[in-house]
């Protein structure tokens, strides 16, 4: 039984945004966006099968504000 999924993860690199490397951008996107998608994809089938469940997605300030 799975009643609740609480997605809460985020990373940020300090410094000037325009200086981030492609690898840094990929890491940020992997955690801040794909992490949420993977969590939902893992939980939703079970919630659908049992006929109920709640998914809460939150974002840290790191995911909502630009650095530098």
Read off the pLDDT of residues 25-68 as tens digits, 9 standing for 90 and up.
999 899 989 999 999 999 999 999 999 999 999 877 665 666 65
| Predicted pLDDT at 63 | 58
Backbone angles phi, psi at 4, to 5 degrees: -145, 130
For the chain, the domains span 4-61
* Token pair for 3: 């009643």
Which pLDDT score is estimated for 59?
78
**What band does 16 get if pLDDT is binned at 50, 70 and 90?**
confident
Query: Would you state the pLDDT for residue 46?
Result: 98
Strand partners, 58: 8
pTM beyond 0.85: no
pLDDT of residue 15: 80
Phi, psi (rounded to 5 degrees) for 58: -125, 160
SS3 call for 6: strand
Per-state percent for the chain, helix, strand, coil, to nearest 5: 55, 15, 30
């Amino acid at each position: 039984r799975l009643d609740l999924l609480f997605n809460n993860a985020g990373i940020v690199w300090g410094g000037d945004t325009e200086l981030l490397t492609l690898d840094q951008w990929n890491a940020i996107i992997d955690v801040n966006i794909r992490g949420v998608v993977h969590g939902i994809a893992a939980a939703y089938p079970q919630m659908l099968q049992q006929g109920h469940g709640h998914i809460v997605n939150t974002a840290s300030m790191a995911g909502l504000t630009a650095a530098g």
